[in-house]
Each structure stands twice: as structure tokens, then as C-alpha cells.
Chains A and B, each alone.
Chain A
Amino acid sequence: MNLLDHRPGTSPVHRAPLGGKYAVLLALTVVLVAWRQPLMVGIVLAGVFGLYLLARLPGEFLAPWRRGWPVLAFAGVARFVSGVFGPEPLSPLAALVPALVVVAAVFGALAAARLLVITTPGTELLDGLARFFGAFRRLGVDPEAAALAVNVMLRSIPWVGASVRAHAEALAARGLRRGPVHLMGPVLVATVGHARATGEALAARGLPAGPETAGPETAGPETAGPETAGARPEGPGPGGPGPRPGYTRGA
């Protein structure tokens, strides 16, 4: 479970500013949803593949298919059923065309989004996110607190995963039925305890810094986020639901 599979590189796609990447991705997604014509979807798909070529990662183009084929199959089957039994019934052969177009469009959007993820280092994504939160300062969003919450979330994913695993093993060791209630109840109690301990640890460190004292980019743990989150699952489990779910910041 590697959270961020970043493929480093020096291509123009890798070096493009993050805001530009998001703008292009958003534009492609809007086009794919709004213009559901075979020609348009084909052009966008070719464009996305061109971007993969430009990033020198053509082998990654089909990854969304390998990972997400159930979603794509669901989309295709649903559109096919809608075409055959919908308000304007088509022959099964004719209904195949819009179904394939929908599958191609969903695939194109997923592939484009994935290209952004694999060509951008995780730290840059998180920095971009922090800047994004800053834009909502006027609406009462505390960018510091929001960025900190993102980091707490990313650090907690391996913890919660390890907790689920440990409790499942504990149930199995006692020969109990692995019902979801028996599993998730203790997991949630441990999770709430973990959240409280994390809150105490944050408070002890004076985090999040109040909006009046903090500069825009002073949230320290940002750089520690994705690496630790990605690196932890390989270990023996970060403490599991054990007695010390401490928040050791970047230690």
C-alpha cells in the first residue's frame, strides 16, 4: 500500500507548475463530461496519451485500467443498459457505441488525473493544498489548522490500517467470528483514543499555531507527511492499537 507512487523525471510535464497541471486536468475533465462525442473523447484521449509520452511514461497510461477496471466496466454496462432499455431504445449493437465512449471518457479522466499524481512529488501536492486552503482564509478557514489536519490524516492512515489488522488478528486468535461490528467497534474505540492522544500531543507542541502568530508556511510537519505515511506500512506496524499511539512528529 504505497500511498504515493511518484515517478520522478525531468520532462516538461514534471516541471510544469502545479497550478497549471490542475488547470489542464480540470479542463480535460470538464471536456470529457460535457462533450460526450466519440470524436471529442478520442481527441482528448489522444491528448492525454501525448502528455504521457511527453512525460516519458507511456507504460503508465493503462494503469487506471488495471486498477480501476470494475468501475469502468460498471460505467460501460450501465450506459449499455440505458441505451438498450432507455427512453430511446437502440439495438444492442448501436448501444455499444455510447457505452464504449463513456468507458473511454471515464478512463481518460482517470488517466489524466493519475498523470498529475505520478509526476508531482507528494510534498509539492501538500504544499499546493496548503496554498489552496490559504485562498479560503476570508471564508473563515484557518489554513494552518487545515494543513495540519491533512498531515494528521496522512500520518493516521497507516495507524488505522495497522489497528484494523491487529484487531482482526486478535479476533482470529480468540476464535471469534469476524463480524464487522466486533471488528470495527474496538477499532473505533482505539481510533478515538488515538485522536485524543494526537490532540494532546498537538496541544503540547503549540500546534496549530494561531493565525496571528503563524507565518504562511510555518507548518513544520508538512515535509514529514507523505514520506512517513508511505514508509510506515512496511514496518511491523506503528504500534498498532498498543498503549502508546504517540504522535512523534517526524522523529
Chain B
Amino acid sequence: MSHAVPGVQRQPLAVPTQVALAGVFAALIAVCSMLPPIPVGGFGVPITLQTFAVMLTGLILGARLGFLSVLLYLVVGLAGLPVFSGFNAGIGVLAGPSAGYLLAFPLAAGLAGALSSVVLRRGQAAAARGAGRMGLGWWALVWACAMVASFVFIHPMGIAGMMLALDLDLATAIGADMVFWPGDVIKNVLATLVAATVVRAFPSLALRRF
């Protein structure tokens, strides 16, 4: 049903497609939050695919639609539908340790989308001139976009949220947050690899033509 061929007619974003993409990617984040955590690394720290899905949404949908999609997930969860990890729901999570992380997600997706839009546009232009496909270097830059978004929004806001909600001191909060760093690097690599697969299947997405 879907067209692998980029759309012939160049039109601005059609509203139904925007709504569908935002809704379906919000559903993807919800599913990734509900999947059981995967133990990673020597410490067996369980990581959920939640931030993976958030970053992926930003990388694939771009700044505006990515931000809106993650915001939709957040609003639906705060309204009380159990889409957060652990099937928790409602405003109550704002008193929990994950409050800062949740509130940072839309901003992080938006920033990752904005930065990666620039990288992908240049990468596609370079690819069109040369090899025909974006090389590893461009995708490394996309990964860097996701990492920047993580460390500008997710981790600082997560630390602030833990300090507020759990009454922690700064050092302990940073320590608790650092537990997530290795998983974060892995998840952003994962998001970049999957984004590359998606862009190969739907090249128009790289140019934010939906």
C-alpha cells in the first residue's frame, strides 16, 4: 500500500499524513515503553527502548512533527492512558523519578530532528552528486545529532527531575543518571541504524517529505 517511490507531486505536508505519522510514532513510543527491558552490559542494567523510540521519532519525522508526536505521547500518558513504562499512567508520574526525563522527551526529539534535518539534507545532496547513497560519515553525524539532543535535554532535565522529585543532592542525581549513559549511546546508535534503514526504504523522508 505504501509507496516506496518518493512521491512525484511535491506538495506541502498533507494534514492527514501528518496526523497519521504523529499518531503512529506516538504508538511506537508507547509500545517500546511497554516492551520488557533488555539487560545490557556487564552490570545488567536494564534498558528500555523508550528513548530509542523517542530519538528515532525525531530523526525520522524532523523537528516539528517529531516534537508534536512525542508531545502527543506525553499528553496521552499524563491524561491517564497507561502508555508509560511499567504501565504507569497519569499525572502521578510527575512525582516520580522519571518526571524530568518524560518532560525532556519532546524537546529532545525536536532538537534531534532539527539537527538531523540539516545533516540529512546535506548528506542526500552529497549522495546525489556522488556515490548515490549516504556514507557512514553522514550517519555518524546523525548519531552525533541524537547524542547532542540527549545531553542537552534528556540528561540535564532528568537530573533536575530526580533532584526535585526524590530530594536528591546533585552528585547522587548525576550518579543515578550516569547509569543510563552507556545504554544511551547504544540506543542512539540503534536509532541511527534503524533510521538509515527507514531512509533507504523511504528516501523522501530524509528530506522531510512525508
Give residues in A with beta carbon < 8 Å to B: 1, 3-4, 22, 25-26, 29, 32-33, 36, 64, 67-68, 70-71, 74-75, 78-79, 81-82, 85-87, 98, 102, 105-106, 108-114, 116-117, 120, 122, 125, 128-129, 132, 142, 145-146, 148-157, 159-161, 164, 180-181, 184-186, 188-189, 191-200, 202-203, 207-208, 226, 243-246
Contact = CB atoms under 8 A, between A and B. Distances in A.
Contact of A106 (B22, B72, B97, B168): B97
Contacts of B28: 156, 160, 188, 191
A156 to B, nearest CB: 4
A186 B197 CA distance: 8
A120 to B, nearest CB: 7
A149 B27 contact: no
B30 A153 contact: yes
B15 A145 contact: yes
A196 B24 CA distance: 10
B77 to A, nearest CB: 10
Contacts of B19: 145, 148-149, 152, 199, 202, 207-208
Contacts of A203: 14, 16-17
B10 interface: no
Main secondary structure of the interface of A (DSSP, over half): helix
Contacts, number: 261
A3 B82 contact: yes
Interface residues of B, number: 70
A199 B21 contact: yes
Interface string B87-108: 1111111111110000000000
Interface stretch (B110-118, B122-130, B141-149, B198-206): B198-206
A151 B91 contact: no
Q: Which of A36, A109, A186 has the most CB of B within 10 A?
A: A109
Contacts of B3: 196
B196 to A, nearest CB: 8
A185 B2 CA distance: 16
Given A29-B95, A208-B16, 18 more contacts: A4-B81, A25-B91, A86-B172, A102-B166, A109-B95, A110-B93, A156-B27, A159-B27, A160-B27, A164-B35, A180-B52, A189-B197, A193-B2, A196-B21, A197-B2, A199-B19, A200-B1, A207-B19
> What 6 A-B pairs come out closest when comparing CB atoms?
A113-B90, A152-B23, A113-B92, A193-B2, A109-B95, A199-B17
